[in-house]
Amino acid sequence: MRLSLILVLSLFTGNLFSQADSTQLDWPREIVQGKYTITLYQPQLETLIENNLEGRMALSIKDDKEAMTFGALWFKVRLSTDLETRVAVLEKMEIPAVKFPDVDNEDNIEKLKKIIIDNLEAVKLEVSLDQIIASVDSVAMDHIVAEKLNNTPPNIYFRKESTVLVSIDGDPKLKEIEKTKLSEVVNTPFFIIQKKKKYYMQGGTNWYKSDSLLSNDWEQTTFIPSDIRKYAKKKMDEVDTSPSKDEDVPKIIVTTTPSELVLTDGEPAYQPITGTSLLFITNSESDIIMDINSQKHYLLLNGRWYSSKSLADGDWAFIEPETLPEEFANIPEDMSIASVRVSVPGTPEAQAALYENYLPQTAVVDRKTATVEVTFDGEPQFEAIEGTNISYAINSPQTVLKVNADYYAVDNGVWFISTTAKGPFIVSDTRPEEVDNIPSTSPVNNVKYVYIYDSTPEVVYVGYTPGYYGSYVYGGVVVYGTGYYYYPWYGAYYYPRPVTYGFGVHYNPYTGWGFSVGMSVGWMTVSVHRSYWGAAGYHHGYRHGYHNGYHNGYRRGYAAGHARGKYNGSNNIYKNRANGVRNTGGANRSQVQNRPSTRAATGKANNLYADRNGNINQRDKNGNWSQKSNRATTQNRNLQQNQRSSMEKQYNNRTTGNANTRSFQNNRSSSQRMRSGGGRRR
């Protein structure tokens, strides 16, 4: 028997980092200008507020006579980010201060400052997002909107044999299929057809039938009416999802309420977690830990922990993150179950995830060419949002808000405005302040995480943070979904709302949220554009699975799956727009061809650090620290203990960030090679 497959689809599309690209993220960097060579050492980052970053960096200037001068500069920049390639460009750089320790000649100081400022304000430096996350001293966490989440456990089913959870969004809605005698259940991502008084379901290459839609007595069948087969083929072609061959015939659980499925391949197999009194279940795609002291099982769902004495159905209770057993934080980093550390408050992984949840994906939107088409199922119908003066359209597949006399549409991370509900809409350069008050009980609360940073007569600078696709901060960790059930619209059309449960959502440190649904991709027939499981434009889940479970090996979420059909799109929502986006973050090299360029200073150690006073400190390969000086008689001075501790922390942060950058690049390249070879991992 085979444990049900994890749905694993590719995250990574487009061009990979070439060797040349990856070296552009290395430090130190050099700028050669006339007789001067300016060497920039890796920035030490201080604060991140929205898309504005402040920090400092050590530097050196060498002239044609080999004379070397050390200095430090402070900078303020606007981040242009690409969360897909995990690269940020430091744009619109301001340099409020430059300091050269021990240089007394004012003429020389001003000359050196001018060389640096003229070059750095023109160049655009690329920085790895992993370096930013590891190095920034403080993120303005108070800017993160606090959500009141519903953490009530869903229905949790436990099975020891291959099973599929078939989720229906509330009471089943059947719609007649034109020119046939068939009806289709439209409020589900599963393919379910009614003919006469029987129901037929396709999952992979298997077919099932039942006299009752909501029963669990579905049985496999080989006799399928020809009109159903014909429609199934058409439906599969429309969404480009070819059924994959199942190695066994799973059982079926049909549910109309928020539910999750936990599977083990036979009886649960427990393995000790080194150095703790914890065990974890190895033959499951779910994260399940057993605390020997309390005899409780802990299950991780969507970043939330639930506990129960038994794995049997029911009796699960939500656990506040800060009340987890202390030993959870001691799970060794080299064990496969270490992926859960991201959901344990206070761990480095959890802290990085909090910062990750604050980083925006940015874009530059062209006012003239960016458009949105807003549609309604009948005449526009609006419903008031509790506690605000905002109403939202309940019968539109787009997010349309009425704020006072204006109408706003949010489409793929861009705000649009109109004086009428049906438009036409134009790009907005203002974001209503009232949206920050939309509660999590509203299905459109995700728009509060879409921002407008700046604008010109030609373009608008925009961005969104992961809250836009359902990622929230709670109790020192990140969780997925608000936990609330939102009623969909059903008229002539069915418009689903974001859902929290039903798809085994897991957090991935590089790709955000993806899910395992306990089945092969052939079970799913819904188009990604219907946004069944997330906010409008959210494309993580269905395409980007989680390398969890003993068949795939944990790989701690760092490796991507492979592409299948047309589901190899981008996790950068702005790249899903058909028009209007000039730049979606990262390097826009066409704009910087004639500007000073940087190159990796190969052969130079990345071992200079600037402290907050502008002194330059150096760490040798033995871990010894000294202070550099521009006076020949005092080239090196030992640091005090508190200075060494501060610099050692900077060193450790830099090392971690650079290691994560290399890990991402290596896994990305590995994923691309696997995709090119057409292989499939089981």
CA terminus-to-terminus distance, the chain = 13
DSSP 284: B
pLDDT of the residue at 508: 75
Q: Please state, for a pLDDT cut of 70, what percent of the chain lies above it.
A: 79
What are the tens digits of pLDDT across the range 283-300? Answer: 988 999 999 999 999 999
What are the tens digits of pLDDT across the range 313-362? Answer: 778 999 999 999 999 999 999 898 999 999 999 998 998 888 888 888 99
What are the tens digits of pLDDT across the range 575-588? Answer: 878 889 887 765 44
What residues form DSSP beta bridges with 138?
47
DSSP 612: T
**pLDDT class for 526, splitting at 50, 70, 90?**
low
CA angle 544, 550, 556 (to 5 degrees): 50
- Calculate mean pLDDT across residues 33-37: 84
- 290 close to 280: Cβ distance less than 8 angstroms: yes
What are the tens digits of pLDDT across the range 67-100? Answer: 888 999 999 988 888 888 888 888 888 888 888 8
Tokens of 613: 């006073």
Poorest-confidence range of 234-243, 260-269, 279-288? 234-243
Which of 302-316, 393-407, 509-523 holds the top average pLDDT? 393-407
CA-closest candidate to residue 175, choices 188, 167, 184: 184
pTM, rounded to two decimals: 0.83
Q: Which residue has the higher pLDDT, 599 or 450?
A: 450
| Distant-in-sequence, close-in-space partners of 465: CB < 8 Å, separation ≥ 6 | 357, 358, 359, 360, 361, 449, 451
Q: What is the distance between the alpha carbons of residues 341 and 330, in angstroms, rounded to a whole number?
A: 9
What are the tens digits of pLDDT across the range 153-210? Answer: 999 999 998 888 999 999 999 999 998 999 999 998 889 999 999 999 988 788 999 9
pLDDT of the residue at 632: 55
Do the bridges between strand 174-176 and strand 155-159 make them parallel or antiparallel, or are there none, so unpaired? unpaired
Cis-peptide into 172, omega within 30 deg: no
| Distant-in-sequence, close-in-space partners of 60: CB < 8 Å, separation ≥ 6 | 38, 39, 41, 68, 69, 70, 71, 608
